[in-house]
Amino acid sequence: MSRRAVGIGLISVGWMGRAHSRAYRNVVEHYPELEVRPELVVAADLVEANRRDAVDLLGYRDAVADWREVLAHPEVQAVSICSPNYLHRELALAAASAGKPFWIEKPMGRGLAESDDIARAAAEAGVVTAVGFSYRNPPAIQKARELIAAGRLGRITNVRVSFLADYSSDPDGALMWRFIRDRAGSGVYGDLLSHGFDLASHLVGPIAEVSAAQETFIAERPQLTGAAIGHNATATGAPGAVENEDYAAVIARFENGALGVFESSRIAVGPRAE
């Protein structure tokens, strides 16, 4: 089958930018019925080593330092926004105004106001978008949704979500952007529990009320001196303050009357989730 090429632009070649790139490379193998195929056109990252990887390892034709070149590239027809959270609003508004459909990583904004701005800009521009709630897509979840919607499981009375991760369990792990409020917004609420809230709403329906408690158990971490990607890195810099939560416990009431219990930690030793 000859498939129409769709030009892809990537903004940020970090942990998630690499995951998106692998997915683009594999998508036709997984879904041979597709009539299109992604063509990796250009990636942007501030760090030269990441730009080199984009071309040498990930298969982009070109890599640039300025993300504006990705949005302006005439062959880029869809964009993956895989940047740290503090860039999401600016990038999404620019993508919408360039008329480029985009997949933006979660959490969309650092808070409600930024997320609203992004949703409004995309709607006004009429571009197709997706938010990186990747746990929605496995076939088992899609099947569960169908079964619940068809009433096959009866009345859903309660939901329990546990998202435990160890990525920050080492107190000597670096103070990455994820721990700084101005850069990340919240801690586990946005980084991990946003997946849980999305999944529960996807299956059971909207959440109406919540009550929550959170805590930062590792209050300081060594500051990062060089560049690093991913969830953790070792660092030897002076200690800096962790500004958002390591752990959250939430109880919720869904609009349909179901109750929910949500728990998330980034310092639970053992469970891997990155």
Burial 138-154 (b: 16+ CB within 10 A, else e): eeeeeebeeebeeeeee
Considering beta carbons, is residue 87 or 259 the nearer one to ligand NAD?
87
Characterize the bridge pairing of strands 207-215 and 247-254.
antiparallel
Of residues 91 and 156, the one with the C-beta less far from ligand NAD: 91
| 146 contacts: CB under 8 Å, gap ≥ 6 | none
User: Closest distance between ligand NAD and the C-beta of residue 184, in Å?
Assistant: 8
> Of 47, 55, 233, 259, which one interacts with ligand NAD (CB under 6 A)?
47
| Residue from 7, 8, 10, 14 binding ligand NAD (CB under 6 A) | 14
Beta strands 239-241 and 220-222: pairing type? antiparallel
Inter-CA distances, 225 with 57, 142, 174, 232, 236, Å: 26, 43, 9, 13, 8
CA-based max dimension of the chain: 57
What residue number has its CB nearest to ligand NAD?
14
Q: Rounded to whole angstroms, how far apart are CA atoms 80 and 78?
A: 7
Q: Which of 230, 237, 239, 257 binds ligand NAD (CB under 6 A)?
A: 230
Under rule CB under 6 A, residue 250 binds ligand NAD: no
Report the distance separating Cα 162 and Cα 167, nearest Å.
Answer: 15
Please check whether residue 62 is in contact with residue 74, taking contact to mean a CB–CB distance below 8 angstroms: no
Question: Smallest distance from the beta carbon of 157 to ligand NAD, in angstroms?
Answer: 28
Query: Rounded to the nearest whole angstrom, what is the least distance from the CB of residue 228 to ligand NAD in the complex?
Result: 7
The smaller minimum CB distance to ligand NAD, of residues 156 and 188, is found at 188
- The least CB distance from residue 257 to ligand NAD, in Å, is 30
Residues 109-168 that bind ligand NAD (CB under 6 A): 132, 134
Structure tokens at 155: 């009345």
Evaluate the omega torsion of the peptide bond into residue 206 and state whether it is cis, within 30 degrees of 0.
Answer: no
According to the binding rule CB under 6 A, does residue 58 interact with ligand NAD? no
133 vs 259 by CB, closer to ligand NAD: 133
Interaction pattern, residues 168-207, with ligand NAD; x per rule: CB under 6 A: -----------------------x----------------
Residue numbers at the binding site for ligand NAD (CB under 6 A): 11-17, 44-47, 50, 67, 82-85, 87, 105-106, 132, 134, 191, 229-230
